[in-house]
Amino acid sequence: MTPAALREMVARFPSLPFVAAPTIVEPMPALRTLLGGGPGLFIKRDDAIPFGFGGNKVRKLALVAAQAVAEGADTLVTAGGIQSNHARATASAAAKLGLRAVLVANGDAPSRFTANALLDRLLGADVVYVATREDRAPMILTVCERLRAENRRPFAIPIGASTPLGALGFALAVAELVDQMPAPHVIVHSTSSGGTQAGLVAGCRLLGLHTRVVGISADDSSASLQRQVRAIISGVADLLDLDLETLSRGTAIEVDDRFVGGGYGIPTDASQEAIELAARTEAIFLDPTYTAKAMAGLIAYVRQQKFKDHQTVVFWHTGGQVALFA
């Protein structure tokens, strides 16, 4: 199908104009030279989405928050870490739409509010703290019940807005990319709750591209993320009333978990090098938890000559740079 046909198919879902699309795609010639040549390197600048400090969550929330509005919600409820980019993007959407936001955050209330936690405060979000990551999803339900008992109309958004509807935002983003440049041979990006990757893979499959999509994990194992991405893609097929077969062919679900290091948010030598190289060669700022590890993956692949010189590789910058100020 063509990009126009994909847009038309998704147009039946309401969407909010948060993204200011298209985001810029630019080459990274100095990084390429520093790495000793290799494939053409490009970057898709979703970090530069103006809304709410940008990032990949804005593409998903354009659709998910629109559904909340359509259902008459008055409060968006979601969860993440204290420094969650997704929580900040959700609080931004709520503020812009005149809704309340309740964010469930795992960890202790910070003694100093910095970076995303500071922005959540400025945006007027209420934060409920829970002890562990496992406590987050049940607490979303509890908060929603509490709000309903007060005659409020909560709308729960799962972690990362990685629902089939949210993923559609990234299927559309593939259509946006191929209007800007010939389909790249490879897209490399950070993956965690799987919605970004599900949308990118679904977009490539729907458009019949030969593009590889490589998700570099920020935390979970390749096997569990692949399962998660597959499940979201199957939900996308349901949403679009497509036969799952149609959405199962083409671009593979590739997840590389070798760059996680000691765990979620724990820097590695390679992620720290990636932050410095991207800043010093291209004035691109990466966040320590997600995009630095994804860029570390891209750098390692180029150094190991996993790509051919004639190929084009797009690094999809998914944002999160606010976390540099935590």
Ligand X SMILES: Cc1ncc(COP(=O)(O)O)c(C=O)c1O
**Residues in binding contact with ligand X, number by CB under 6 A:** 20
DSSP letter at 262?
T
**CA-CA-CA-CA torsion sign (32, 38, 40, 46):** negative
Q: 3-10 vs 195-207: helix axis angle to the nearest 10?
A: 130
- Concatenating the DSSP letter of every residue in 104-167 gives EEESPPPSS--HHHHHHHHTT-EEEEESSGGGHHHHHHHHHHHHHHTT--EEE--GGG-SHHHH
CB of 163 to ligand X, least distance (A): 10
Question: Is 84 part of the annotated catalytic residue set?
Answer: yes
Q: Does 195 engage in binding with ligand X (CB under 6 A)?
A: yes
Angle between helices 291-303 and 269-282 (to 10 degrees): 90
Q: How far is the CB of 304 from ligand X (least distance, A)?
A: 23
Considering only residues 153 through 192, tell me which ones interact with ligand X, judged by CB under 6 A: 160, 162, 190-192
* Binding map of ligand X across residues 1-40, x = CB under 6 A, - = no contact: ----------------------------------------
Sheet bearing 154-156, strands edge to edge: 126-130, 100-106, 75-81, 154-156
Query: Who's near 258: CB < 8 A, 6+ residues apart?
Result: 297
Rounded Cα gap, residues 90 and 199, in angstroms: 19
* Out of 235, 265, 319, 322, the residue judged to bind ligand X by CB under 6 A: 319
**Least distance CB 319 / ligand X (angstroms):** 5
Among 15, 23, 196, 271, binds ligand X (CB under 6 A): 196
Q: Which is nearer to ligand X, 307 or 315 (CB)?
A: 315
Instruction: Please name the residue that has the structure tokens 């990949």.
Output: 56
| Closest residue by beta carbon to ligand X | 320
- Compute the least distance from the CB of residue 72 to ligand X, in Å: 27
Task: State yes or no: residue 78 binds ligand X (CB under 6 A).
Answer: no
Q: Of 78, 271, 291, 312, which lies in the binding site for ligand X, with binding defined by CB under 6 A?
A: 291
Q: Is 44 helix (H, G, I), strand (E, B) or coil?
A: strand
Query: Looking at the annotation, which residues are catalytic?
Result: 84
List interacting residues with ligand X (CB under 6 A).
55-56, 85-86, 160, 162, 190-197, 287, 290-291, 318-320
